[in-house]
Amino acid sequence: MDESIDFTDRTLIDSILGDSAELDPVDDVFCRQYLDNVASFGVSKLVQEPTRLTETKENLLLQTQSLAFDNYQTFIQAAECSKEIYRDFNTVEERVEALTQSIPQLISQINQFSSSSHSISSSRKQNSLVLSRHSQLLEILEISQLMDSCVRNGYYDEALELSSYVKRLHKKFSNISIIADIGIEVKRSTQLMLNQLLQQLRGAIQLPACLRIISYLRQLDAFNEAELRIKFLQARNAWLLSVLAQVPEDDAYNHITRTIEVSRVNLFDIVTQYRAIFTDDDPLYAGDDEKFVDLANILRSWLTRKVSDFLMTLEKDLSKGLVTRLESVYGQCMYFGLSFSRIGADFRGVIVSLFHRTLLKHVGAAIKTATCRFEEELKTFAIPTRAMKDRPTPAKDKAVTSPPLRFLLFPPLAIYTNGILSCFNDIRQYPAVS
């Protein structure tokens, strides 16, 4: 029923206003109300309605004209404002569109700023934490420099403490690069300390210094027990060789006597130092390859080598003609060997055979020389025709101290006798039974 009424009203409105009439919703409601009102008029009032509408229209037109005349400036301003507003709306629409296009880029930049701000905030927190721990961090950063200063100035106890601290620190924070770098620098300083300690072993040092240096080397844990003993003997051997190298070699006798003295004193000191530092109570040492090493053999092997070197030097100097002073050299060598008996390295038996060989060579050479001269003299010798009168012969109870004068009649025999007697005179202070 309502739909039919609406259709009838629309048809009536269209017939009154025309088919092309377009009403907004407000006008449409007003027309419906007016039609409802007109439908309630009587005939007489309905006849008068056009006249009333005409008059009303004229009044409204006059009022409109009056209003327009009175307020034309306002209308003009309103029109200009509307124009400006329209233009502003167009500008706003363009800018809004540009803003809409810029929003994704703005969002991206905001996200970047957000991430960078988080990073900056994290860095700031870290910097604040670093600043609060500045003194502790400064101490850690200065460890490598402090370690180098301690090593170069000889403060080895402090250097070992720093090295141990850095090892613990590196084990706990090995993933931090700066800790790893500090560890590398400390290792370099530790290697420098090791070289300095080994260099000190190559100098003229006493037992307390040796004990202290070996203690430092053990704390460095750079060598195992066997290697540490070998390093000690190598260093002390280098010092011993440097001392022996300073002995002048111009005179064979002075060279060998000085060598005997230097070798006896310093070798005995080295062995004493070694036995005071290292113990052979447990002679077996298991190496990394699970093989056993007799630590006691290290010192014995080194001593054997040193005695062999001394005997080579002795034999070399004896070959330069020390027969006339053989007794003195022999006495010093026997004292040298006797002193080494206290450390279980008595080598006097080897010395005796060496001196015997030297004497044998000398006697053989002297007899050979005398024999050669005797043979040369025989080639030109002629037996004299007149015998020489002998001088009075000494009494039988008196000791004969010289060859008979009868030898003067035979010069070759006298020369040969003198050669043999000279050889016997050379070895009279050293009568070797062999």
CA distance 332 to 330: 5
Is 104 inside any structural domain? no
Does one domain contain both 409 and 340? no
Does one domain contain both 235 and 273? yes
Does one domain contain both 244 and 304? yes
Is 218 inside any structural domain? no
Boundary residue ending a domain (346, 373, 393): 346
Is 294 inside any structural domain? yes
Number of domains in the chain: 3
Does one domain contain both 246 and 319? yes
Does one domain contain both 359 and 422? yes
Find how far residue 170's CA is from the centre of its chain. 13
Does one domain contain both 330 and 241? yes
Is 23 inside any structural domain? no
Does one domain contain both 329 and 278? yes
Is 338 inside any structural domain? yes
**What distances in angstroms separate CA 160 from CA 17, 78, 153, 220, one per listed residue?**
113, 95, 13, 7
Does one domain contain both 175 and 194? yes
Is 44 inside any structural domain? no
Among residues 217, 362, 365, 197, the alpha carbon closest in space to that of 278 is found at 217
Give the pTM. 0.59
Do 362 and 426 touch, CB atoms closer than 8 A?
yes
Do 205 and 269 touch, CB atoms closer than 8 A?
no
Is 49 inside any structural domain? no
Phi, psi (deg, nearest 5) at residue 285: -130, 125
Is 340 inside any structural domain? yes
Q: DSSP assignment, residue 129?
A: H
Does one domain contain both 341 and 366? no
Does one domain contain both 302 and 324? yes
Domain that holds residue 178: 133-201
Does one domain contain both 183 and 271? no
pLDDT in tens, the chain (434 residues): 444 445 555 666 666 655 545 666 777 777 778 777 877 877 888 888 888 888 888 998 888 888 878 888 888 888 889 888 988 888 998 888 888 888 888 888 899 888 888 889 888 888 888 788 778 778 888 888 888 889 899 888 998 898 888 888 888 887 888 888 888 888 998 999 999 999 998 988 888 999 999 999 988 888 888 889 999 999 999 999 999 999 888 888 888 889 889 988 899 899 889 988 887 655 555 555 555 667 778 888 898 899 888 888 888 887 776 666 777 788 888 888 888 888 877 887 777 777 777 777 777 777 777 788 777 777 777 666 554 444 455 544 455 566 676 666 677 777 777 777 777 776 665 656 66
Does one domain contain both 266 and 318? yes
